[in-house]
């Protein structure tokens, strides 16, 4: 196995691993270490069945069915991300529109750890995914701002009301990674609503400032998808966004996600 880091602070390509076959503990440890170091890793030219993708996911935790229900299927842990329609029905989620920065499932009390996406069909243009290094973004804040964020919590909500749990969910604005001890910003324009226990104008001021900060390309790394790619990312130290793509083109990815019994911690 060989790790080729990107020229940004996050993102790395992993060479020499076939994710469809059983892997030894040493390789699994090395892959997890690469995820901790680089936040997002990718393997090119992979051929896997849905069950093999779930088996690979399970090396890093417990693959669970996505909270958003999809049509009954053979491997229930697989979530279809696609704009493709069959007989007038969406076969998957997320369509073809732009998605702004978010950390997956942050509207849940326990958002989990890693997400994986395996590319089956990719449009000829658009649909690139960009990850933001929220560790680097936190580190780059001034000392005073870091101090003023301490203890703050923000509400996270999905824009599809039915997808939210019955209770209002809030998480720390700055979280600490349980395995690396590194702090990172944990707010994004797609799912974060407001900071609690401060007045609305102050919440808007702080979030606006943090969103402008996270938008700085020095913290970003963009993946240009190819069929056969498998991308694995840690949602705790990152946010991601997706470019739109033409609705006349097909994009289809298989996704898995890992449960975590621990809520994000300050
Ligand atoms: C996701 C997601 C982005 C993409 O599956 O959580 O944000 O590029 N996908 O499809
Ligand atoms: Mn996502």
pLDDT classification of 73: cutoffs 50, 70, 90: confident
Q: Which of 115, 163, 226, 258 to mutate to test the pocket of ligand 1 (most atoms within 8 A of CB)?
A: 115
User: Are the CB atoms for 61 and 260 separated by under 8 Å?
Assistant: yes
pLDDT classification of 58: cutoffs 50, 70, 90: very high
pLDDT classification of 125: cutoffs 50, 70, 90: very high
Residue 195 Cα to ligand 2 midpoint, Å, equals 21
**Which pLDDT score is estimated for 237?**
98
Instruction: Give the position, in ligand 1's atom list, of the atom nearest the Cα of 93.
Output: 5
C-beta 242 within 6 A of ligand 1: yes
Distance, in Å, from the CA atom of 113 to the CA atom of 236, rounded to the nearest integer, reads 6
C-beta 255 within 6 A of ligand 1: yes
| pLDDT at residue 246 greater than cutoff 90 | yes
Distance, in Å, from the CA atom of 118 to the CA atom of 132, rounded to the nearest integer, reads 20
Closest ligand relative to 97 C-alpha:
1
Give CA angle at 215 (92, 14), nearest 5°. Answer: 60
Averaged over 191-214, what is the pLDDT?
98
**Which pLDDT score is estimated for 86?**
95
Q: Look at the alpha carbons of 207, 117, 44, 58 in this order and tell me if their dihedral is positive or negative.
A: positive
**Which pLDDT score is estimated for 210?**
98
SS3 183: strand
Residue 158 Cα to ligand 2 midpoint, Å, equals 12
User: Are the CB atoms for 264 and 235 separated by under 8 Å?
Assistant: no
Distance, in Å, from the CA atom of 167 to the CA atom of 187, rounded to the nearest integer, reads 19
Rg of the chain in Å (alpha carbons): 18
**Which pLDDT score is estimated for 130?**
98
pLDDT classification of 168: cutoffs 50, 70, 90: very high
| pLDDT at residue 193 greater than cutoff 90 | yes
**Which pLDDT score is estimated for 47?**
98
Residue 81 Cα to ligand 1 midpoint, Å, equals 7
SS3 1: coil
> What average pLDDT is seen over the chain?
97
């Amino acid at each position: 196995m060989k790790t080729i880091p990107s020229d940004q602070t996050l993102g790395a390509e992993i060479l020499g691993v076939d994710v469809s076959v059983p892997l030894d503990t040493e390789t699994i440890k090395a892959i997890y270490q690469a995820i901790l170091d680089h936040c997002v890793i990718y393997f090119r030219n992979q051929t896997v069945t849905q069950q093999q993708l779930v088996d690979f996911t399970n090396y890093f935790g417990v693959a669970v069915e996505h909270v958003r229900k999809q049509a009954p299927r053979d491997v229930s842990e697989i979530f279809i991300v696609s704009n493709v329609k069959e007989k007038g029905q969406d076969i998957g989620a997320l369509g073809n529109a732009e998605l702004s920065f978010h950390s997956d499932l942050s509207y849940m009390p326990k958002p989990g750890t890693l997400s994986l996406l395996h590319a089956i069909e990719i449009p000829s243009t658009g649909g690139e995914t960009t990850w933001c290094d929220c560790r680097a973004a936190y580190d780059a804040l001034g000392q005073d701002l870091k101090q003023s964020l301490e203890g703050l919590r923000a509400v996270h909500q999905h824009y599809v009301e039915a997808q939210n749990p019955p209770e209002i969910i809030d998480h720390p604005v700055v979280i600490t990674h349980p395995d690396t001890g590194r702090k990172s910003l944990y707010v994004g324009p797609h799912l974060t609503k407001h900071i609690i226990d401060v007045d609305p104008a102050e919440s808007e001021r702080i979030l606006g400032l943090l969103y402008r900060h996270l938008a700085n390309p020095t913290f970003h790394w963009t993946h240009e998808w190819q069929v056969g790619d498998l991308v694995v990312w840690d949602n705790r130290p990152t946010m991601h966004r997706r470019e739109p793509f033409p609705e006349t083109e097909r994009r289809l990815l298989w996704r898995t996600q890992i449960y975590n019994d621990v809520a994000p911690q300050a």
